[in-house]
Amino acid sequence: MEIRTAVFSNKGQSWVNKILANPSLLALFVLIIFFSFINPHFFTLSNLFNILDLASLLIITSLSLAFVLMMGSIDLSVEGVVGFCGVVASLLVKNFSNSNNFGFFTLAICGAVGAGFGLLSGFILSRLKIPSFMVTLGIGYITTGLGVLITRGNPVVITDWSFRQLSIGKFGFLPFPFILALGLFFIIWLMSERTTFGRYVLAMGGDETIVQDLGVPTSKIKTLVFMIGGLLYGIVGALLTARLGSGDITAPLGFTFDSIGSCVLGGIAITGGVGNIPRALIGVFILTILRNGMVLMRVSPYVQQGIIGVILIFTVALTIDRKKIQIMK
């Protein structure tokens, strides 16, 4: 099956042909139609807003994983960095919050902390030539351990209502986290499509050796990609804390699996070099709508995980480039 790297190309085609030509987009529309017929509550306004709210944080983490996977690497530090930054956010708000603008300051601080861990990951894998899955797995363990050490394993409860508005507040009629996620999506999309940096990232996923021989600073690009990822994880950590009302190192459990899964479902190859940022967005909505629909059908959570696992295996089998199966760079 040919996976095209442009989602909204072929302007001469009708929108129907565009959907039929894109397996991920087709799957998304099939899911929407299926659940709309199965459960009348699915297509209600309240449930649609619920889907947007549930998808918002996953969109942000998946944007990072999309960049990393297209480069031919992988990032397993998502849960650790998100959880640690969530703890940082809760401690900042609990001890220093004294204004309604502190929430945005906390977002910035958490983003900087996350970017720091991304810089560390990028530096280690670039300089020491250690595979990304080992480096990021280690960073995930380190951040989780630090979070447990600081909090002694107990959630840090916050009561600052102005900070909690970051996650539960609305901008117009849409949830604020979704608006923020859309803004970040367009920034990352433009970065990947309209800059030399974005083209180098995709080329490195195709064949890093050739790109390096052309004089491209691949080590710097890798480091920057992981820094961007860390920045996004930090923002998600703060938003998750605002949503839950506490900083809990275990709160992001499952974020790594869901983020990678969203990218794969959207058509981004785990072997690198194939995909784009819109595909990650499509994958997020496939996963979110699938979960939402199964909840409405009262499917057991354990069965849900099994169904999603089978779908992921099937998707990877269709999209993987078997000539490039190797340890992630």
pLDDT digits (tens, 9 = 90+) for 287-321: 999 999 999 999 888 898 898 888 888 877 766 55
User: What pTM value is reported for the model?
Assistant: 0.88
Element housing 288 (H / E): helix 277-296
Domain boundaries, the chain: 42-320
* pLDDT of 165: 82
* pLDDT of 231: 96
Topology (CATH level 3) of domain 42-320: ABC transporter involved in vitamin B12 uptake, BtuC (1.10.3470)
Q: How confident is the model at residue 221 (pLDDT cuts 50, 70, 90)?
A: very high
pLDDT tens-digit readout, 252-296: 888 999 999 999 888 888 877 778 899 999 999 999 999 999 999
Separation CA 167–CA 238 (nearest Å): 9
Q: Which of 2-6, 10-14, 33-37, 172-176 has the highest mean pLDDT?
A: 33-37
Q: How confident is the model at residue 212 (pLDDT cuts 50, 70, 90)?
A: confident
Percent of the chain with pLDDT over 90: 45
Q: Is the per-residue pLDDT at 3 higher than 90?
A: no
Contacts with 288 (C-beta within 8 Å, 6 or more apart), sequence order: 51, 54, 55, 58
